[in-house]
């Protein structure tokens, strides 16, 4: 297995495993999670609501039991967009490749326990893509403006990091460009910083500090301040259990949702240069607490609760890119693949092939530019 393939498998399978484990604890607070499961969650567990089909009628999803959620469905859809174009993506490709995939391609939707189009599983902030680009024919570069500001674009940006492996700035720029079709404000910024973090983790020999340095170098405004605050707090911890309340306190000044996660206030998820989503800073913070190790980074995100599936998706992708395929516990990845009836490795393998082709295109483009610039410099 090439290092690129190993890294891609680590990142995408790691993201899916984090997603599946975090789905069971999503929207709950840490104390509620411990009460429901009789202690800390240490692996795959049943749904938080035993009556999951009726407990939340607006969102009757079978999260838990190893089922991936919309985070992974969107990640795999983005991989297919890359596979179709076999080059870098932009906002127009979101409209022309990603959106048709979401509304036309039949896939298995594990937490709905049936086959269907991915659109049927998306939340409102992700259905915005279809509303704005397919129905309203908005300019793709601006279609994200007006959406609620959340982690919806960030949660599926790991493939951008693999395509730009070793080039965090390139990953940041590409994610900023393509997520203009989906998000704005700090939701768009977080998507770009997450892609950059994966690209940094995918650099041969990289460690946690390289990921942190790339995130802080490229992040702007409230996103940078939030990552900085959480990382500083995380450096004082080596146990994810003790770190949970400390990281929440560190990110709270930048989070608009508030402490009662299920009942956000009027200012929640509105655009701002002072605020940030909490999922990305906490994911990076848990990575620091865990020293880059996959299991504790993901378990910290899972037991943190709130938007646990997305936080654990991000932690899992970065830790998986750092450690490769072997970093992801095989018992977890096998159980998630089986429960979700989804091949978790095939999309990662295809992405590695596409990333190689894109790099070859980049080399040819730069060679042409170098030749022209040399002529200009004579």
Give the Cα separation of 222 and 267 in Å (integer): 15
Average pLDDT on 365-374 reads 96
pLDDT for 252-303, tens place per residue?
A: 999 999 999 999 989 999 999 999 999 999 999 999 999 999 999 999 999 9
What's the CATH number where 217 sits? 1.10.4080.10
Q: Burial, 366: exposed, middle or buried (Cβ in 10 Å; 0-12, 13-18, 19+)?
A: exposed
| Phi/psi-derived region of residue 341, left when phi > 0, alpha when psi is between -120 and 50, beta in every other case | left
| DSSP-derived 3-state class of residue 107 | strand
Q: Are 251 and 282 in contact (CB under 8 A)?
A: yes
Joined together, the tokens standing for residue 172 give 């940041």
pLDDT for 206-248, tens place per residue?
A: 999 999 999 999 999 999 999 999 999 999 999 999 999 999 9
Between the CA atoms of 55, 61, 64 and 66, what dihedral angle is there, to the nearest 10 degrees?
160
What is the biggest distance separating any 2 CA atoms in the chain, rounded to whole angstroms? Answer: 74
Place of tokens 């498998």: 9
Joined together, the tokens standing for residue 170 give 């390139």
Joined together, the tokens standing for residue 46 give 């049943």
Alpha helices in the chain (DSSP H): 3-23, 30-37, 52-55, 70-85, 91-93, 99-104, 124-130, 158-163, 168-178, 185-201, 208-218, 221-234, 240-251, 279-289, 294-304, 308-323, 330-340, 345-376
Q: Burial, 127: exposed, middle or buried (Cβ in 10 Å; 0-12, 13-18, 19+)?
A: middle
How confident is the model at residue 273, as a pLDDT?
97
Q: Looking at the DSSP assignment, which residues form a beta bridge with residue 67?
A: 64
Q: How far apart are the first and last CA of the chain?
A: 45
Q: Is the pLDDT of residue 56 over 90?
A: no
Strand 114-117 to strand 106-109: parallel, antiparallel, or no bridges (unpaired)? antiparallel
Q: Which residue range forms the structural domain that includes residue 222? A: 3-376
pLDDT for 96-106, tens place per residue?
A: 999 999 999 99
Give the Cα separation of 190 and 177 in Å (integer): 13
Q: Is the pLDDT of residue 1 over 80?
A: no
Give the Cα separation of 327 and 321 in Å (integer): 9
Q: How many CA atoms lie within 13 A of 218 on its CB side?
A: 29
DSSP state of 106: E
DSSP state of 142: T
Q: Burial, 322: exposed, middle or buried (Cβ in 10 Å; 0-12, 13-18, 19+)?
A: buried
Q: Burial, 87: exposed, middle or buried (Cβ in 10 Å; 0-12, 13-18, 19+)?
A: middle
- Which helix (H) or strand (E) segment holds residue 117: the answer is strand 114-117
Residue 378 banded pLDDT, cuts 50, 70, 90: confident
% of the chain beyond a pLDDT of 70: 100
Give the Cα separation of 282 and 311 in Å (integer): 7
- pTM score, whole prediction: 0.98
Q: Is the pLDDT of residue 370 over 90?
A: yes
% of the chain beyond a pLDDT of 90: 98
Q: Is the pLDDT of residue 189 over 80?
A: yes
Give the Cα separation of 166 and 200 in Å (integer): 6
Q: 372 CB contacts (<8 Å, ≥6 apart)?
A: none
Radius of gyration of the chain, Cα coordinates, nearest whole angstrom: 19
- Angle, in degrees to the nearest 10, between helices 185-201 and 279-289: 30
The number of folded domains in the chain is: 1
CA-nearest of 366, 363, 348 to 4 is 348
Give the Cα separation of 96 and 337 in Å (integer): 29
């Amino acid at each position: 297995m090439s290092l690129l393939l190993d890294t891609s498998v680590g990142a995408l399978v790691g993201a899916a495993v984090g997603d599946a484990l975090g789905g069971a604890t999503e929207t709950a607070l840490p104390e509620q999670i411990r009460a429901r499961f009789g202690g800390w969650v240490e692996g795959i567990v049943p749904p938080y609501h035993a009556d999951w089909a009726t407990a939340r009628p607006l969102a009757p999803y079978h999260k838990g039991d190893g089922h991936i959620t919309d985070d992974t469905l969107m990640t795999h859809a983005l991989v297919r967009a890359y596979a179709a174009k076999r080059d870098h993506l932009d906002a127009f490709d979101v409209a022309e490749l990603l959106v048709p995939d979401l509304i036309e391609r039949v896939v298995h939707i594990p937490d709905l326990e049936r086959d269907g189009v991915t659109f049927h599983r998306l939340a409102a902030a992700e259905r915005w893509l279809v509303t704005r680009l397919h129905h309203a024919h908005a300019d793709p570069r601006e279609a994200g403006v007006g959406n609620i500001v959340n982690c919806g674009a960030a949660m599926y940006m790991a493939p951008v990091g693999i395509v730009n492996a070793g080039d965090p700035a390139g990953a940041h720029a590409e994610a900023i460009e393509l997520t203009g079709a989906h998000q704005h404000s700090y939701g768009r910024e977080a998507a770009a910083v997450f892609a950059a973090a994966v690209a940094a983790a995918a650099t041969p020999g990289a460690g946690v500090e390289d990921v942190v340095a790339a995130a802080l170098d490229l992040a702007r405004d409230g996103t940078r301040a939030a990552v900085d605050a959480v990382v500083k707090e995380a450096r004082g911890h080596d146990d994810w259990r003790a770190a949970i309340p400390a990281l929440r306190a560190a990110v709270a000044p930048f989070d608009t949702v508030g402490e009662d996660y299920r009942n956000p206030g009027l200012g929640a998820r509105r655009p701002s240069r002072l605020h940030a989503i909490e999922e990305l800073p906490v994911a990076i913070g848990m990575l620091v607490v865990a020293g880059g190790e996959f299991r504790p980074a993901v378990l910290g995100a899972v037991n943190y609760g709130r938007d646990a599936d997305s936080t654990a998706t991000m932690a899992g992708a970065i830790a998986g890119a750092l450690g490769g395929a072997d970093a992801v516990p095989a018992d977890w990845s096998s159980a998630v693949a089986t429960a979700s009836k989804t091949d978790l490795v095939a999309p990662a393998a295809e992405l590695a092939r596409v990333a190689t082709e894109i790099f070859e295109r980049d080399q040819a483009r730069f060679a042409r530019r170098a030749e022209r610039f040399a002529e200009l410099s004579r």
